[in-house]
Amino acid sequence: MAEAEIGVIGLGVMGANLALNIADNGYHVAVYNRTTSRTEEFAAAAGDLSERVTACSTLEEFVAAIRPPRPVIIMVKAGEPVDQQIAALKPLLEANDIIIDAGNANFRDTMRRFTELEGPGQTFIGMGVSGGEEGARRGPSIMVGGKEEAWRRVEPVLTAISAKYEGEPCAAWLGENGAGHFVKTIHNGIEYADMQMIAEVYGVMRDHLSMDAASIAAVFSAWSTGPLDSYLIDITAEVLRVEDAATGQPIVDVIVDAAGQKGTGRWSVIESQMMGVPATAIEAAVAARSLSAMRAQRAQAQQRFGLLPQQDRRDGQQVIDDLEKALLAGKVAAYAQGFAVMAAASDEFGWNLPMATIARIWRAGCIIRSRFLDEIATAFTRDPDVENLALTPAFSKMIEGTDMSLRRIVAEAALNGLPVPALASALGYFDTYRRGRGTANLIQAQRDFFGAHGFERIDADGQHHGPWGGSV
């Protein structure tokens, strides 16, 4: 008998935890995984929840176990596996069944899948899920894109399993087709910037102030009671305290300094560039991960150029106080950029993305959850049409209170040869953004000189050309 109310395909880290979360919330869930042994292991480990779990070894069995109209969550490796899974599932489903891709899809793939699934009467949802393993099990942040009517049908289960911020569910419908996966992509882009800036600040403490991991951990712990209060700051303090069993050293000191990446950061940058919206802090963070992976070249370059001797050292506490504020200023830039990219995409794809809601559903469950996001939600609620977060009263004030610290840290890091590319890019962004008369007049003159591209004048309408003599 079909008794499951929902199905989950893919019992890897995320799918397995999501399925347990669903069962934990009182829903009966059918599960299926390509490799049957994984399904068996999952069923064996489900414990008390197994009475609400139907483990299936074939897709036919899986589909038959779910009551129509069936919501089916696909949580497999992003890319080709999702297409393969949809192709295998499609012929077995009926009209009104809903396929939900909950992996980290590129939103352009999601839009293509929407088009491909139009017609047979089945519905597709592209759903971003953030929170890692623990979030999937205890409550992630859920970003839904698709037909609003489809969302209404799955809203009860998705809100039940989502994280809650002061009782409010961190799950929402954000717009049609690719909206959910686009927002998840930018979430991850911001996450890259957040993590990079934290790593830069750690670098200043380690390499300029010569602090050990435990002392740096204490600084991050102290910050977690202030405006930087966030999951990423908390886990940073925690990982810095963990000892390596083999060497007795702090584990961070034995981890190779080459960061992995799976694509969402890069997609954020590509999309922002395509729309002409600067996301410099995210770009710097993605580039920093790529540079981190060039370990052999970096070693060679250090041999060739050496490191700068640490000089101009101020009192350590003064530097630490500035680092806290610099990190906050950098965060303002990264989030302002991320939200501006989402606003541009919203216009381009006609999504009508609700910025305050996005900030609200990121306040709990997801990796960038923080007190800061509550302030962003408030700012966008008060001023929903503002073009840049930096221009809202609360965030303008935050910038005024932190930008001198960012300036001092970037300057100090530059003089000491310490890489702070994301913080420096945040400063460059502010300084470019706040200057009414920039320097692009010269670029326009150059473009007109070599390419007759024309320019506008400040004192007359229309396009003009310069009286270039052609002397070069």
Q: Residue 97 in contact with residue 70, Cβ under 8 Å?
A: yes
Residues 6+ apart with CB under 8 A from 349: 175, 177, 178, 179, 182
392 binds ligand NDP (CB under 6 A): no
Q: How far is the CB of 388 from ligand NDP (least distance, A)?
A: 28
- Which residue has 């990423």 as its token pair? 232
Q: In terms of CB distance, is 261 or 444 closer to ligand NDP?
A: 261
Residue entry with tokens 């929903």: 384
Maximum distance among all Cα pairs of the chain, rounded to whole angstroms = 86
Q: Which position among 45, 51, 61, 84 is part of the footprint of ligand NDP (CB under 6 A)?
A: 84
One of 2, 24, 77, 261 touching ligand NDP (CB under 6 A): 77
Q: Which of 78, 92, 218, 356 binds ligand NDP (CB under 6 A)?
A: 78
Q: Which is nearer to ligand NDP, 17 or 392 (CB)?
A: 17
In the Cβ-directed half-sphere of 371, how many Cα atoms lie within 13 Å? Answer: 11
Asked whether position 33 contacts ligand NDP by CB under 6 A, the answer is yes
Which of 8, 76, 143, 233 is the binder for ligand NDP (CB under 6 A)?
A: 76
Helix axes 107-117, 80-89, angle to 10 degrees: 20
81 in contact with ligand NDP (CB under 6 A)? yes
Query: If binding is defined by CB under 6 A, does position 11 make contact with ligand NDP?
Result: yes
Q: Does 72 bind ligand NDP (CB under 6 A)?
A: no
Interaction of residue 85 with ligand NDP, rule CB under 6 A: yes
Identify whether 243 is a catalytic site residue.
Answer: no
- 337: contact with ligand NDP by CB under 6 A: no
Site size toward ligand NDP, by CB under 6 A: 23
Q: Strands of 98-101's sheet, edge to edge? A: 53-56, 29-32, 6-9, 71-74, 98-101, 123-130, 141-146, 171-175
176, 184, 324, 412: the catalytic one is 184
Residue 208: DSSP 8-state:
I
d(CA 292, CA 260): 9
User: How many Å from the N-terminal Cα to the C-terminal Cα in the chain?
Assistant: 83
Q: Is 189 in the site for ligand NDP (CB under 6 A)?
A: no
Residue window 106-145: x/- pattern of binding to ligand NDP, with contact defined by CB under 6 A = -----------------------xx-xx------------
Q: Which of 4, 6, 8, 14 binds ligand NDP (CB under 6 A)?
A: 14
| 422 Rama class: left (phi>0) / alpha (psi -120 to 50) / beta | alpha
3-state class percentages of the chain: helix first, strand second, coil last, to nearest 5: 60, 10, 30
- How many other CB atoms are there within 10 angstroms of residue 320's CB atom? 19
Residue facing ligand NDP at closest CB distance: 12
- Which one of 41, 77, 90, 191 is the catalytic residue? 191
The answer to whether residue 316 forms part of the interface with ligand NDP (CB under 6 A) is no
Select from 196, 186, 108 the least CA-distant residue to 143.
Answer: 186
Nearer to ligand NDP, 93 or 420 (CB): 93
Mark whether 375 is an active-site residue.
Answer: no
The stretch near ligand NDP (CB under 6 A) out of 34-42, 43-51, 54-62, 439-447 is 34-42
Measured distance CA(214)–CA(240) in Å, rounded: 6
Binding stretches for ligand NDP (CB under 6 A) = 10-15, 33-35, 38, 75-78, 81, 84-85, 103-104, 129-130, 132-133
- Catalytic sites, residue numbers: 184, 191
